[in-house]
Chain A
Amino acid sequence: MRAAVFLALKDLRLLMRDRAAAFFTFVFPLAIALFFGYVFSGTTSEPLRVAAFVEQSSPAATMLIKALDEDGGFKLTVTDARAAGEQLVRRGEAVGLLIVPATYAEGIDGVFSGGGAKLGLVVDPSRRAEGAMLVGKIHEVAFRTVFATVGDPVQFARVLDRMEESLKASDLSFTDRLAIRTAMSRARTMSTKGADGSAATQSQSLADWKPVSVDIAELSMRPGVPANSFAISFMQGIAWALFGAVLSFGSGIAEERQRGTLVRLLVSPMSPNQILFGKALACFVTCLATEWMLVFAGMFLFRVEVSHWPLMVAVTLVTAFGFSGIMMLLAAGFRTQGGTQGAGRAVLLVLAMIGGGTVPLVFMPPFLRVASNLSPFKWAVMAAEGATWRSWGMSEMLLPLAVLAAIGVFGLTVGTALVRRSI
């Protein structure tokens, strides 16, 4: 038993010395989390191409279009017919068509008496993620123009409160809610910044205002809705963290065999089971470490909130256990280091990709959501989301945890038996 712990410690040390393996286990997942976080928060450098159609010209509508045009986040094409705009979307030349209805000006006037300005948006269904970004950005700019017209931060804050209330009760889609929240949080930041300053600083803050993604993190989490895009992307990162850990330890046994060091271990008083236990332990510890690294990085950098700490602990433990099982299956399936790093990597890559590593689970089209059930990564990501923004209770958590535990038991028994036969 103690020997197995020393073996695990040795493997962890080797992992840290292997730059590529350490990179894929610790740095790459973080990079992915940051990358997708920024992509979905809409602060990519690439401006979104958007078509716009104004039903009836008005000063308010002109102001909105001008603001959108000057925002820099868009590349706006104003069309003079709705059909022409839709055509652009259909051809993929625009992510969406913004429709400024004839009632827009009226709506703006009524914002503070309880009404609201409505905008229409037609998006390409296959580009939902970008659509969500677009909704957020449009809201943000729209708020800005409204705010600029009215210029009263206190009243504005009240409007925001009221909107938040109605948002909670609304049956908007997930992506819309995410987008609106993001926009509202930005508007609120702006308005509070202005509220405690003079009129000069107020307009200053408006003029200087740039969509900085970190701002969105100021939203507090609401059950079932991620506070920001990083709440999603950091859970995606977990898939890649597990991918890296499983891959480097899955080839560890093959590596010891090829290096000849396995012979030394077999001639030592360690039993084969102890050797494999040590390997699994090292993988388990690494999975845990990289999962928590992502959770903490998300918490401190982007205010990703853990909704239920005991469940989060359970999720990471069970996930690490499940993926140690997968590591053992990988070691059993591919007997050489080359095999693991080649074919094994390919298999894992596909599983990680359909398991939420690239397209987040919430944005998945239905067929992919079904296919993702086959990927162990899906259950890991899902469980992690459950303990963070999904705010799951024990009952909802049971299925993913059971799946991960079953994978672990299966992998560790069958995988160990197969590897034992080969050493």
Chain B
Amino acid sequence: MIRVRDIRKSFGSIAAVDGVTFDVHRGEIFGLLGPNGAGKSTAIATCTGQLAPDSGSIEIGEAGSPRAARARALIGLAPQQIALYEELTARENLVFLARVHGIPEPVRRADELLDMVGLLPRARDRVATFSGGMQRRLNLAAALVHNPTAIFLDEPTAGVDPQSRTAILDVVQRLANEGRAVIYTTHYMEEAQRICSRVAIMDRGRVLAIGTVAELIAEHGGDSVVTVDSLAGEHRVRTREPLREIERALAEGGATAVRIEQPDLEMVFLALTGRRLRD
């Protein structure tokens, strides 16, 4: 659905995106995971046609370049910066966007989306009166008015509480289940781990690794740590096969508690860059 080949984009001497290649298929949630300044937003901007890449190509389904009018009808974008008219109500925002897209029955469509992100009770309130999390949810709904099939969500959960986050992640999951292609940027690795079918780890404009979460962890995550508590004290073991280690401990006897710490994407990032994802 989304085909990105070796795109590059520099701002002066900063290579914000430095040769990025990936594919996103229908029904897939593709995570772009990376720290601040990794180039995630710039990659999204080039993929959605806001910026022309310096080199490389992007294709949106059959429609080709994202700058083509036909492709733009397929693209849904929730920018990182909340992009709403604060002086309009939630419903007015969505109705306006639906009209711009030529959607029949724009009011019905707006209410459908408001319901989906749980804002229907606040439909008649101005966006300026919304909390950050509510604005985030509306920002997501605004990306979906025209039923796009290639959806770009740039940090859709930035600054929201756990409840709003769950609501947003549910919506994203549903979009993928409906057969859309979703690109999802974040620097929360738990989130990527939870919903992304595949993840690309980005740093300094480059993609360091791509794969399913399990693949990435298996390849770059390193050992699990098994901790066995016994009367003799605590005993920590690094191992690729934690279950076997536990079996052994139980067989020895005397164990009062057993814990496994499995490697996560954080460890993957550490292994790939030598730095932590968030400091």
Chain A residues proximal to chain B, CB less than 8 Å? 2-3, 6-7, 10, 13-14, 17-18, 259-261, 263-271
Contacts and interface: CB of A to CB of B under 8 A. Distances in A.
Interface string B205-226: 0000000000000000000000
B60 to A, nearest CB: 11
Interface residues of B, number: 26
Given A263-B83, A269-B101, 4 more contacts: A7-B100, A14-B85, A259-B84, A267-B48
Given A260-B81, A264-B77, A264-B79, A17 B87 contact: yes
A267 B49 contact: yes
A2 B79 contact: no
Nearest to A255: B85
Contact of B69 (A6, A13, A263, A269): A269
List 6 A-B pairs, minimum CB-CB distance, nearest first: A260-B83, A6-B99, A260-B81, A17-B87, A3-B100, A261-B83
B52 interface: no
B12 interface: no
B69 A261 contact: no
A13 B79 contact: no
Contacts, number: 64
Interface of B: 48-50, 69, 72-73, 75, 77, 79, 81-88, 92, 96-97, 99-102, 142, 146
Nearest to A18: B87
Contacts of A263: 50, 77, 79, 83
A98 B86 CA distance: 61
A261 B88 CA distance: 13
Contacts of B77: 263-264, 267
Contacts of B72: 267-269
A32 B97 CA distance: 38
Given A260-B81, A261-B84, A271 B69 contact: yes
A62 B69 CA distance: 86
A251 to B, nearest CB: 14
A14 B102 CA distance: 21
26 contacts: A2-B99, A6-B99, A10-B92, A13-B92, A14-B85, A14-B87, A259-B83, A259-B84, A260-B81, A261-B83, A261-B85, A263-B50, A264-B77, A264-B79, A264-B83, A265-B100, A266-B49, A266-B50, A267-B49, A267-B72, A267-B77, A268-B97, A268-B146, A269-B69, A269-B101, A270-B100
Given A259-B83, A269-B73, A10 B50 contact: no
Nearest to A2: B102
Contacts of B79: 260, 263-264
Most chain B CB within 10 A, of A263, A266, A269, A271, is at A269
Most chain A CB within 10 A, of B73, B81, B83, B142, is at B83
A6 B97 CA distance: 9
Contact of B97 (A13, A264, A271): A264
A303 B48 CA distance: 57
Contacts of A268: 72, 97, 100-101, 146
Contacts of B69: 269, 271
B204 to A, nearest CB: 24
